[in-house]
């Protein structure tokens, strides 16, 4: 079998063959091929990511507050306020990361349970 | 930076591998001095070019080894952008693939014995993260105009709380480049320092076999970490890109 295309006709034939192959492969491969090839290792990384986000949120809040204090001359107050805001921001991005975990493991986020929703709604 | 501990001939210099030094002669490092960082950054760029350009030169239908590596990386990043940022994120595919290849090769080349790990410096990872941060912010403003600020203005909350939430959202927006750069550099520093410490223990004959096995294990783990960290950096870039393209909550 020729390794390299030599002319335009060859190229066209190759493209056609590739398309036929793609169609055959698409028919043969099982549809849900898992979340991603590295999903497993990515999950191992999530905890580490959350810790870093929490700490950087806190640190960034401190830096913002301290900087504003320095500019406005209200020394401790804004720093204290912004440390709390930074903590909240850190927790927020942490929760966001946690939500990502939920989404990747739950495969499809919306529209996968259309079934018995209506009559269960009234109860809860 | 060298933590020195001279007890019974044992010497640990786990941080010495991260020292930036001039390539030619000694002396102070100015911004124009060619250093080991310069060398390894250049090698990283050359390695990605070698795989992506030279490796796919054959353009064979049945790829050779280099071409399948290049195709694997291409397919991985392409699918990632499509899955996370959607079809309109694919316009930024060239940059994201460049980013992925650069980080992968910087991490992997850092694992070559006697090499210098460029991604262990916040200066390097910080620039990468800031490029993503500014790029995404600019894309957001260009694509959506002032509508991009909706990202910080939580409409589902009551009006009284929204300013406070906006401050929190802004801070957490600025957390992104910091956590991107710190995570990558932190992973690299930690892994390489641990390898050095284990290697230092190999000087004692009694524990040498254990130390060497530990070094081998750590090294294998570091290869995994190198690729996973590049993957995580890229995937987070895609997530931020998605926020820039579709800023609604």
Closest CA–CA distance from residue A118 to any residue of chain B (Å): 24
With respect to residue B19, please indicate whether it lies within any of the assigned structural domains: no
With respect to residue B45, please indicate whether it lies within any of the assigned structural domains: yes
Window B:46-85, CB contacts with A under 8 Å = 58-62, 76, 79-80, 83
State the pLDDT at residue B8: 52
With respect to residue B69, please indicate whether it lies within any of the assigned structural domains: yes
C-alpha–C-alpha distance, residues B208 and A87, integer Å: 45
Nearest CA in chain A to B72: A37
DSSP letter, residue B157? S
Residue range B155-179: mean pLDDT, rounded: 86
Per the structure, the count of domains in chain B is 1
With respect to residue A116, please indicate whether it lies within any of the assigned structural domains: no
The domain in which residue A92 lies consists of: 39-105
The domain in which residue B231 lies consists of: 27-245
C-alpha–C-alpha distance, residues B176 and B188, integer Å: 19
Question: Chain-wide mean pLDDT for chain A?
Answer: 73
How open is the CA angle B107-B194-B175, to the nearest 5 degrees? 60
CB under 8 Å to B53, separation ≥6 — which residues?
Answer: none
State the pLDDT at residue B43: 94
Residue A33 or B223, more confident: B223
Question: Chain-wide mean pLDDT for chain B?
Answer: 87
Query: Is A5 a residue whose pLDDT tops 70?
Result: no
Express each pLDDT in B177-221 by its tens digit.
Answer: 998 899 999 999 999 999 988 888 888 888 888 999 999 999 999
Express each pLDDT in B48-85 by its tens digit.
Answer: 999 999 888 888 888 888 899 999 999 999 999 998 88
State the pLDDT at residue A119: 40
With respect to residue B88, please indicate whether it lies within any of the assigned structural domains: yes
CB under 8 Å to A53, separation ≥6 — which residues?
Answer: A90, A93, A94, A97, B175, B179
Q: At what angle do helices B122-144 and B162-201 cross, to 10 degrees?
A: 150
Count CB atoms within 10 A of the CB of residue B99. 20
Identify which of B19, B32, B197 has the alpha carbon closest to the alpha carbon of residue B121: B19
Closest CA–CA distance from residue B80 to any residue of chain A (Å): 8
With respect to residue B231, please indicate whether it lies within any of the assigned structural domains: yes
State the pLDDT at residue B28: 82
Query: Is A92 a residue whose pLDDT tops 70?
Result: yes
With respect to residue B5, please indicate whether it lies within any of the assigned structural domains: no
Contact A57 B182 (CB under 8 A): no
CB under 8 Å to B203, separation ≥6 — which residues?
Answer: B9, B10, B11
With respect to residue A48, please indicate whether it lies within any of the assigned structural domains: yes
With respect to residue A74, please indicate whether it lies within any of the assigned structural domains: yes
State the pLDDT at residue B119: 92
């Amino acid at each position: 079998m020729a390794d390299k295309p030599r002319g335009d006709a060859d190229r066209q034939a190759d493209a056609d063959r590739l398309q036929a192959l793609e169609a055959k492969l698409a028919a043969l491969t099982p549809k849900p091929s898992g979340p991603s090839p590295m999903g497993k290792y990515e999950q191992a990384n999530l905890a580490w990511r959350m810790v870093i986000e929490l700490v950087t949120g806190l640190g960034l809040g401190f830096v913002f507050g301290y900087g504003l204090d320095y500019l406005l001359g209200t020394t401790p107050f804004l720093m204290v306020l912004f440390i709390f805001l930074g903590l909240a921001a850190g927790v927020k991005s942490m929760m966001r990361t946690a939500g990502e975990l939920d989404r990747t493991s739950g495969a499809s986020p919306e529209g996968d349970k259309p079934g018995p929703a209506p009559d269960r709604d009234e109860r809860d | 930076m060298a933590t020195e501990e001279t007890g019974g001939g044992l010497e640990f210099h786990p941080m010495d591998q991260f020292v930036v030094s001039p390539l030619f002669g000694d002396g102070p490092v100015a911004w124009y001095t060619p250093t080991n960082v310069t060398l390894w950054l250049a090698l990283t760029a050359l390695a990605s070019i070698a795989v992506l350009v030279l490796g796919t030169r054959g353009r064979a239908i049945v790829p050779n080894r280099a071409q399948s590596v290049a195709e694997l990386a291409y397919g991985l990043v392409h699918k990632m952008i499509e899955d996370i940022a959607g079809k309109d994120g694919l316009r930024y595919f060239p940059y994201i693939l460049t980013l992925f290849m650069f980080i992968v090769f910087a991490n992997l080349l850092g694992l070559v014995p006697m090499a210098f790990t460029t991604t262990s410096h916040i200066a390097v990872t910080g620039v990468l993260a800031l490029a993503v941060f500014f790029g995404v912010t600019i894309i957001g403003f260009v694509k959506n105009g002032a509508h991009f600020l909706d990202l910080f203005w939580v409409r589902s909350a009551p009006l009284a709380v929204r300013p406070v939430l906006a401050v929190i959202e802004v801070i957490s927006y600025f957390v992104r480049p910091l956590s991107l750069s710190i995570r990558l550099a932190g992973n690299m520093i930690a892994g390489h320092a641990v390898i050095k410490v284990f290697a230092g223990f190999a000087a004692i004959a009694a524990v040498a076999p254990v130390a060497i096995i530990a070094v081998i294990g750590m090294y294998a783990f570091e290869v995994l970490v190198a690729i996973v960290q590049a993957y995580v950096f890229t995937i987070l870039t895609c997530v931020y890109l998605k926020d820039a393209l579709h800023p609604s909550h």
